[in-house]
Structure 1
Amino acid sequence: MLAVLPTLVSLLLMSLVHENPSNTTNDKRHLNKFSLIALVIAAYLTIILISENFFVFPPWAHFFTTIILLILISSPLHIALKAQKSESSTSLTMTPFIFALEAQEGPPVPVIETNLAQAMSTVNFWLLFLAMVCAMGSGLATINNITQIGESLHYSTVEINSMLSLWSIWNFLGRFCGGYVSDLFLHKYGWGRPLFISLTLAAMVVGHLVIGLDVSLLFGTFVVGVCYGSQWSLMPTITSEIFGVKHMGTIFNTIAAANPVGSYILSVLVIGRFYDMEAGGGGKCEGINCFMHSFFVFGGVCGFGFFVSLVLFFRTKGFYALVLERRSDRVEVEG
């Protein structure tokens, strides 16, 4: 299903994708509404999933909560229709203003555009790739083994299923907040985005140790899930800023290969071997020792990734200062 269904969906719907020229300059309020709905849905699902661990929902309650969820999921359609109506009514009045902006002469903004071969010949590319191997690899290895970890620690089936579902929400929150927070601190304090890769890797060290020591599997997966998700908003943005957007698709997907590479190394060569060792070569393993040593290794790996990303942060500090200067100059011209 994972191999065929996404491919079929893309092939069936690709004919619907087309260029849609637009003159809107007030999309931010509509996008903020989309973001708010996404956060409300995440909060709603979190409450439902946690409640199912304490209460047995009768059929009518399942029906009622599902109806509410369907209403929340369909609500973005209303925002899109309202935005389209607003766009059509204001496009004529906004056009002269847009043309006036385009006619103004601003300072030249040089853009760095590198292809894959040029990017791979830089130190920054490999620093980013290594950091992603550590962060994405350990995060994916964690979710790949959540069921086995829960079983070895004698969690109930309901608790394990809840943690698996909640991981998706933590992942979403990481993707949502990672981009927003890094953007905020970049424009307000001039902090380069690679710093937030360092901060999330430092947090992942704590999360892995919490899981390995069986302090709290729920809290540990929350920390690792949020930090893992944040990489998927930080890494593409950093890629486009450092290497340009012309060949971003190729460069981004090459760096994204760190996800399966890191997962293979840490899932097969670390967790798999430690688990088999503790299980005695066959059968199920029970107890804290089944995964404790693996997550200690994960903590060390993320600690190494922390220092790698910190090097990337200091190497790109001057670059991000220049990016901020260019953007402030552009804002002044448009103002």
Structure 2
Amino acid sequence: MDLNFYLKYSKWVSTVASIWIQCTSGSLYTFSIYSQTLKSTQHYDQSTLDIVSVSKDIGANIGVLSGLIYDFLATRTRTGPWVVHLFGSAQCFLGYFLMWAAVSGVLPPVPVPVMCLFMFVAAHAQSYFNTSNVVTGVRNFPNYGGTIVGILKGFLGLSGAILIQVYRTVFNNNPMSYLLMLSLLPPINTLILMWFVRIHNTRREGESEKKYLNIFSLMALVIAAYLMIVIILENILTLQLSIRIFTFIVLMVLLASLLCIAFKAHEKNSSNSASKSFLAEGSNLIAREDSSNNLLPADDTNSQRTLQQGGNLNLFQAVKTLNFWILFVSMACGMGSGLATVNNMSQIGESLGYSTLETGSLVALWSIWNFLGRFGAGYVSDYFLHTRGWARPFFMVITLMTMSIGHVVIAYGLPGALYVGSILVGICYGSQWSLMPTITSEIFGVGHMGSIFNTITIASPVGSYIFSVRVLGYIYDKEASGTEGNKCAGTHCFKFSFLIMASAAILGSLTALCLFLRTRHFYGQVVLRRIQNVM
């Protein structure tokens, strides 16, 4: 088959294009790289900086519009994913370019609300990239939603470390240049690749599909391990420019190898003749699902009515259900406290006596832990759902409870505590980003997944605002008042804040437990049967 066929008609090539776009879309997690420069050039205190940070979180997570655009276009035209990517590229360039102009002095000093607007627009682009890539992936691989979401969300989490490698190699640790890079690299990369991101209504390949998704997963782990080694070496050694260039080239080769895997997967799956049409298969699935729904227990009638609708739920129907709000509260506690942690990593490290290089490495390593959580939770929850029938919300219970332990570790600030705590919080935070979209598609259906899961992600900036501004920022400024430069040093600066966030994570775990108890019969009698019937 010729190259044109691969590019137009292969869902595997579409997956690689989505992965590569995700690799430059995670600037949200590198705020700490330029936050100190933003703080000093604009003369902000910690609370003001946290307000700018929260505007970033709001922009990145208020993705309802991107979801509605995707849901509207994807069912009517093949250009759906492309249009969403195009909107994201324009916003990414505009927001970061104006921020760079303000910080570098090209523009005169701007008021805080204007800077918040710049930050909001720049971060809002991520919701467009993420929606287009993730929802397209779930549509292309409906039987392995957890795995494909874990891979795509994992590379989004990993993108922070990738962007930092570009920054350190090309811009030699210049935060102002990094802002300019963010205005150019993600939009250009997306404009080149977005044409290959398509919805492919092909038959499901069963074990062959699983095999190549596992190979993609293995390569993701290899890339994450490689980045972790490079980051650790940068932390203990002074790498010359030639070494940095070499390590960067190796990274690019590893990412490029994903395309070879996609070609191989497409060849293998094309050699297996399709015996069933897609429409017939879809009709059979609907019939099976309807019959399976009748097996739900008679009690808990509100939950039963919600779950029986399956893919028929749109955004307005979903928000009327209790399951939607249980999931929302869990995400506010988990995503909000995790995001507040990474946004304040520089200030936390500074108060505990870590060097600038060490805090920079912590931010880069956060991307690794974030990736492992996103990838691992998706893959592991898929495995136990397929083999044991375990409902996916169970893993949300475990990860949020573990996150509370990470917050407690950071709170007491013992030697090395920030490293250990950031690992626990980073992995558990990343887990929510693969579990939540997959649970959304399973409980509410994939038909309006884009708008529903983007509405639930509003919980992230809500939680981030509460924990970053009303908890971390307020308590830090109170502890730092009267000190030279309004800077606080010692474990007391953030101790009480992290104990509060630990309590919030426990609350999130308990609400997730409620969701698990409400949906465990649905997973066993509907979701699992649907998967088994198409294998």
TM-score by shorter chain over 0.5: yes
Check if 1:118 corresponds to 2:317.
Answer: yes
How far has the Cα of 1:238 moved from its partner?
A: 0.8
Letter in 2 for 1:269: R
The CA distance in 2 between the partners of 1:76 and 1:325, in whole Å, is 30
How far has the Cα of 1:101 moved from its partner?
A: 11
In structure 1, which of residues 28, 34, 39 is the aligned counterpart of residue 210 of structure 2?
28
The CA distance in 1 between the partners of 2:214 and 2:496, in whole Å, is 43
The aligned residue for residue 157 of structure 1 is 356
The aligned residue for residue 366 of structure 2 is 167
Partners of 1:23 and 1:94 within 8 A in 2: no
The aligned residue for residue 445 of structure 2 is 244
The CA distance in 2 between the partners of 1:56 and 1:312, in whole Å, is 49
Partners of 1:34 and 1:76 within 8 A in 2: yes
The CA distance in 2 between the partners of 1:156 and 1:308, in whole Å, is 38
How far has the Cα of 1:192 moved from its partner?
A: 1.2
The aligned residue for residue 80 of structure 1 is 262
The CA distance in 2 between the partners of 1:192 and 1:302, in whole Å, is 20
Check if 1:210 corresponds to 2:409.
Answer: yes
Instruction: Quickly say closer, same or farther: Cα 1:330–1:306, change in 2 above 3 A.
Output: same
Structure 1: gaps (5+ residues): none
The aligned residue for residue 98 of structure 1 is 276
How far has the Cα of 1:166 moved from its partner?
A: 0.6
The aligned residue for residue 38 of structure 1 is 220
How far has the Cα of 1:257 moved from its partner?
A: 0.5
Per-residue CA distance 1:198-245 (angstroms, 9 max, x = gap): 111100110000011113101100110111111011001111111111
The CA distance in 1 between the partners of 2:508 and 2:254, in whole Å, is 38
Letter in 2 for 1:228: Y
Secondary structure of the 1:66 match is helix
Check if 1:267 corresponds to 2:468.
Answer: yes
Partners of 1:171 and 1:229 within 8 A in 2: yes
Instruction: Quickly say closer, same or farther: Cα 1:16–1:71, change in 2 above 3 A.
Output: closer
The aligned residue for residue 183 of structure 1 is 382
The aligned residue for residue 137 of structure 1 is 336
Structure 2: gaps (5+ residues): 1-95, 97-121, 126-182, 291-308
Instruction: Quickly say closer, same or farther: Cα 1:127–1:29, change in 2 above 3 A.
Output: same
How far has the Cα of 1:7 moved from its partner?
A: 6.5
Letter in 1 for 2:235: N
The aligned residue for residue 253 of structure 2 is 71
The CA distance in 2 between the partners of 1:10 and 1:77, in whole Å, is 16
Check if 1:50 corresponds to 2:229.
Answer: no
How far has the Cα of 1:29 moved from its partner?
A: 2.6
Instruction: Quickly say closer, same or farther: Cα 1:16–1:327, change in 2 above 3 A.
Output: closer
In structure 1, which of residues 99, 118, 127 is the aligned counterpart of residue 326 of structure 2?
127
Instruction: Quickly say closer, same or farther: Cα 1:51–1:293, change in 2 above 3 A.
Output: same
Percent identical across equivalent pairs?
Answer: 51
Per-residue CA distance 1:96-136 (angstroms, 9 max, x = gap): x3359958968622261212222111111111000000000
Per-residue CA distance 1:133-188 (angstroms, 9 max, x = gap): 00000000000000000001110111111110011111111110111111222232
Q: Provide TM-score, normalisation by structure 2.
A: 0.57
Partners of 2:412 and 2:495 within 8 A in 1: yes
Per-residue CA distance 1:42-64 (angstroms, 9 max, x = gap): 00111111122222223443233
The CA distance in 2 between the partners of 1:297 and 1:100, in whole Å, is 51
In structure 1, which of residues 41, 61, 72 is the aligned counterpart of residue 243 of structure 2?
61
The aligned residue for residue 289 of structure 2 is 109
Instruction: Quickly say closer, same or farther: Cα 1:159–1:312, change in 2 above 3 A.
Output: same
Q: How much is the aligned-residue C-alpha RMSD, in angstroms?
A: 2.6
The aligned residue for residue 276 of structure 1 is 477
How far has the Cα of 1:293 moved from its partner?
A: 0.6
Check if 1:287 corresponds to 2:486.
Answer: no
Q: Provide TM-score, normalisation by structure 1.
A: 0.89
Instruction: Quickly say closer, same or farther: Cα 1:291–1:317, change in 2 above 3 A.
Output: same
The CA distance in 1 between the partners of 2:452 and 2:441, in whole Å, is 9
Letter in 2 for 1:241: E
The CA distance in 2 between the partners of 1:324 and 1:10, in whole Å, is 34
Secondary structure of the 1:98 match is coil
Instruction: Out of 24-33 and 305-314, give the one that drifted further.
Output: 24-33
Secondary structure of the 1:94 match is coil
Instruction: Quickly say closer, same or farther: Cα 1:210–1:314, change in 2 above 3 A.
Output: same
Instruction: Quickly say closer, same or farther: Cα 1:269–1:7, change in 2 above 3 A.
Output: farther
The size of the alignment, in residue pairs, is 328
